Structure 1
């Protein structure tokens, strides 16, 4: 075989006899997989978080408290957390690609159905169902990347996927806020659902089939229980799971209740202006990719600790009375969070020994339980003591996340 042809074949699959065939940077399959996973992250988070800018509207229209209005998000993230654990087991038999495709299409259709919900309780039921359906994407996407992408470039690819989630979170919030301002909230949700459906179709068309995944027919509870227990007894992984819980809990808490603060005097922002603040997610997109690249080069734990410190600094800045400083705080918080998340999610694939889908499911379980529980608990702090209490609550969680990262780093190095 000519040298040039052999080089192309090696670059495309990283095929070495007796080793796995990875997708490597610079190949067509790699770019298709990257774009497909970007679309999956975009769709998942735009559909999941599109209701966040609508919380003040829900509170007024359905006569519920701020904490109760946050249930439209917390129920979705809570049911998503439960579904993620089941999804890891289901994907072992159904396949990564098939499960993600079904989940993305189903979640888009349920978002469209939410636009027609006649009352508050049915809206909550549909949102809870949406979380269950979406569970087939996050943990499975991380497992697909860990299995199919060359480990030498996994940090960068994971950063791109997390960037897709940031772009989706931003788009869902910003577009919903603008559409709700001019069309009311029902058409806004319908349009977001239609966009999610288009992204799902693009994902199905682009994602290459799995090469390193071995399907396990049937359902063996003992196998799955052993896999999850194995990851929980891994010295470092439980601390990475704790970081997911605490960092996501603090991030969602700030975003859930910032809208209530900024729509009230003295700021008095309208729905469009509030939605536009979520464009700061653009900083999260860049931070995810940069964080992944830096982690591959200078060390993942160093970047993780820096990201958590940056998140805490951003949270503290929101205590200011000046609107520009508050927005700056949200920018810094968003940058730090997505940098931390891209590194922590990549560390799961690196530290897990086998059954990476199960390890990813535990990480995402902690991630969304933190979003659900802490996101709603923040409403109590806001109602009782105002914004200062919300910030103190988030800083306490981030301090615990920083300690967890230090412990995980120590245990990982000792084991190595």
Structure 2
């Protein structure tokens, strides 16, 4: 395993097992060390992820490396197979995964999202709930520089989190405080080889340019920038949690009631030039109810709040009807045409997950406008609920939902709308 005193000619020290154990203790629990629930590791075959796999295997007995062949280069399949072989020699079980062909345009971003999708599914299939990824200190600095270039606010300038929830799993980044040179030294000391991706030297990609051009002074500035952003964001998160607790009422059918103060009229900025708190909350609520990956632009949220009604991010905002004051926020049914196989664990529309038994002849699709009974729920809400369909007929609807015809059978769906509104990470920096 890794030595504790070896240094290369530049004085770079490898990461020791004790140091890695201390890091893992600080970023939180990962559950018992059991074969049925392995600690999963995303391994590309490069030096950073191979070092992470080596360190994780020294810390845990039951680990599983997930090696993704991105299929973007002809040699990628061979590199993935070689990586699995190297991991096996280190007594690290590995599973090779292959991405489906990607559509042209924004290939790096598309590959990143597709890669996470297959990693999440493989982690769940293996019985795991925690995935280690190998982002290190230099990755964090480069990310902050690029976000600053794009004008990100405090939330973005907090950078990558050591622990965060994404989809059905927890992502851990234990190497964010480790220099990449130390990771390479960790492998050299242990006699472990790794692959080099030529795209990491291609200045056609902005991240490569930043990596090659960022000075020591620039890196130090990014650390100061992040500390300030984390302090500011923590204040925002605390205020958001308080506002949400008194002004947002979640409904079991996946829609929200908003108190009048959530949509205060007025400007879009406060005296700190930060987003108005109500706009920040409304944007996050739109992302949640719409099952989207990202919050809408601040300008679009401000315009919707000032209008008091309208649609944005697949979500409709409308005043509450009858004697109630405030607003309702619900998923719009327009263009909701997604159909998914009725398999246990299937996610539908980025909002609901089916947990009933497999039905080979059924699909999960939108309920549509014909199944309402009574007035317990506004008519505009129900069409966007999921249901099981066979042919052109609904055969089952979600249990626990109000306002649906009582004669239809019930099946289990749970809300799975992505990251939490608040509290998904530590903002202390």
TM-score normalised according to structure 2 size: 0.25
Report which of the two has the higher share of helix: 1
Larger RCO, structures 1/2 (Cα 8 Å, 6+ apart): 1
Report which of the two has the higher share of strand: 2
